[in-house]
Amino acid sequence: MSFYRIYRPQVIEEIDNTAVRDQLLSLLTKDRKDLPHAYFFTGPKGTGKTTAARVIAKLFNCIKMTKSGPCGTCEQCTSIAKGSNLDVIEMDAASNRGIDEIRALRDRINLSPVASFYTVYIIDEVHMLTTEAFNALLKTLEEPPPHAVFILATTDAHKVPPTITSRCLIIRFAKAGESELLHALKRIAAAEKIAITDAAILRIARASDGAFRDAVKFLEQVSFQGGSLDVADIDNALSLAATDTVSEFVALLGGERASLPDALTMIAKLSSQGTDTRAFITDVLNYLHVNLLGSIQNGTPLHLGTRARTEVAIRALTRAYQDTRLSPVPELPLELAVMDIFEESGGEQHAPSRAAESKDHSDQPKEAPVARVAAPPVQKSEEPAYVSLGLLTLEKLVEHWPDFIAATKPNNHSVAGVLRSSRPKSVENGIVVIEAFYKFHQEKLADIATRQVLSDVLKKLFGEKVKVEIVLGKK
C-alpha cells in the first residue's frame, strides 16, 4: 500500500497543516448537533482537503469521541478511513457534474443514515458542477434534513457561486510550510526506518511545492533505492537539477558570463540526463525570486545584472512553465524563453572590456584636437542577425509545408494562397529561402511585413527564429 494511504492522518492531532488542525479542534467546543451542516474547503492540490473531510465525517459519526476529537479506532472511524462506510458518500464533481446527479443526491438526502448518526456528502472539485447543478445543490443546502452534512472541496474557489459558499463554514488550505512538510516526512521516514539525511528530506520538501501528497509520494519513490539517502540521491531519483546547476544556468542568462549558446547547450544536456524540465524551471524561478527580493530588501546584487533583465527572465520562464504542459518537446518552451530573455534584454548584457581602449598612453605625444565632420548615421539592417539552432531543417519544412500554410492563413488568407503555389528552397544558417514562380507572387511574399509574419509563424511551429528570403524560380 502506498505511503500516502498508510500514513494519511486519521485523527485531528495527526493533521500536519497547523492552521487547519486548529480550526478542526475549535469544532470540539460544541456538540455535534450544534455544528454547521455545510463546509467549504478551498486550497491547492495535495494540501489535505480530502483527509480533513474524512476527519470531519468521523467527528460527526465517531462512537467513542474523546476530548481531542474522533478516536480513529471505532467501527465508524475505521470504515470511514477505508472508504467503506455507507453513510459517507464521496463524489467527484468532475465526472458527476450534471443536474441529474445532484437531483439523485437530493432525493437520497431525505433517507435516514444506514448505521451512523449522520450522512456525510463529500463533493470534490465542486467548481466543476454546471450552473443548473449548482442551483439544485443550493436548494439542498438551504433546507437540509437534520441528519445531512455537506463538505464541498475545490482548488478553484472563485468558480463556485457566492450563494453556495455563503451557506458554508469556509476552511482555507494554504500550501504546506517547510516545517510542516519536514514534520510529516520525518514521521514517515522514522516509521519506515528509511536512512535519510536532513538535507535530503529538506530537498524533498522544497521539491513538493507545498503539497503533502507530492512530498510523501517523492519520499516513497526514493525509498526504493535503499541505503543511506543524501541530496544527490534525491536529485537523481526525482530528476531534479542540483543547486549549483541552477546557479550556473542563471549565470549564463545574465551578468559577465551571459551566453545564449551556452545556456541552450546546458538545457540540451539536462534534457539528455532526464531532468524534469518543469521542476528545473521552478527551481530557477525560486532562485530568481529570492535574489530579486534580496536586492530590494537587503541590497543584494542581482544575478542577472539589472532588475529589468530579472523581470524579463521571470516573465519568460513563467510562460515556459505553463507551456511545458502542452509541448510535445518538453525542453522547447524553456529554450524559447531563454531566447526571449536575450532578445528582449538586448542580447548579452555585458559589453566587451574596453580597458585597453581607455588606457592612458601618457608616454605618447598628445596631438592637437582635430575638427571632425559628423559621419552620416549608419543605416541599421531591417532585420536582426539570426543564429541557426538546428531546430528547423529543409526536410522538416518540406514535410510540414501544409501545416505552415495552414498556420499562416489566420494572419493573411491571400499570403496563404500564394504559398500554395510556392515551395521551400533551402534552410541554411538561420535563413529560410522560399521559391516563388511568378513575379507578382515573389513581390507579395517579399514585402517586409509579410516576411515578418512568415518568420513569426516558423518560430511558433519549429521553435527557431529565422530570416525569410523570397527568390524567383523557374517552373
pLDDT (average), residues 392-405: 87
The 8 Å CB, 24+ separation contacts for 401-410 are 403/461, 404/457, 404/458, 404/461, 407/457, 407/460, 407/461, 408/453, 408/454, 408/457
Domain 243-344 CATH class label: mainly alpha
Residue-wise pLDDT for 374-385, tens only, equals 444 444 444 444
Average pLDDT of the segment spanning 199-214: 88
**CATH superfamily placement of domain 394-472:** DnaA, N-terminal domain (3.30.300.180)
* pLDDT for res 377: 45
**pLDDT (tens digit per residue) in 418-432:** 898 899 999 988 899
Listed in sequence order, the residues at least 6 apart from 170 whose beta carbon sits closer than 8 Å to its beta carbon are 39, 40, 42
- SS3 (DSSP) at 88: strand
At residue 358, the pLDDT reads 37
DSSP state of 16: -
First to last CA, the chain: 69
Q: Say which residue, 169 or 104, is predicted with more confidence.
A: 169
The neighbour count for residue 221, using CB atoms within 10 Å, is: 14
How many helices, marked H, and strands, marked E, lie in the chain?
Answer: 22, 8
pLDDT at residue 165 greater than cutoff 90: yes
Which residues of 99-230 form beta strands (DSSP E)? 119-124, 148-154, 169-172
Cα–chain center distance at 412: 34
What pLDDT shows up at residue 56?
Answer: 96
pLDDT at 265: 92
Look at 232 and 152; give whichever has higher pLDDT. 152
pLDDT, average across residues 45-62? 94
pLDDT for position 160? 93
Across the range 464-473, mean pLDDT stands at 88
Specify the DSSP element, H or E, that contains 49. helix 49-61
- Amino acid 292: pLDDT: 92
Q: What is the pLDDT of residue 382?
A: 44
What pTM does this model have? 0.60
- Of 226-230, 279-283, 357-361, 407-411, where does the model show the most confidence? 279-283
| CATH number listed for the domain at residues 178-237 | 1.10.8.60
CATH topology of domain 3-172: Rossmann fold (3.40.50)
> Which H/E stretch holds residue 271?
helix 260-272
Report whether pLDDT(347) > 80.
no
Spatial distance between the Cα atoms of 57 and 82, rounded to a whole number of angstroms: 13
**Domain residue extents for the chain:** 3-172, 178-237, 243-344, 394-472
Sequence-distant (≥ 6) Cβ neighbours of residue 319 within 8 angstroms: 333, 337
Query: In sequence order, what are the beta bridge partners of 368?
Result: none
Could you give the CA distance from residue 14 to residue 29 in angstroms, rounded to a whole number?
Answer: 19
| 97 or 403, which is more confident | 403
Rounded Cα distance, 42 and 214, in Å: 18
Distance CA 454, CA 407 (A): 9
Q: What is the mean pLDDT of the chain?
A: 84
Asked if residue 112 has pLDDT above 50, the reply is yes
Q: Which of 256, 260, 258, 259 is nearest to 465 (CA)?
A: 260
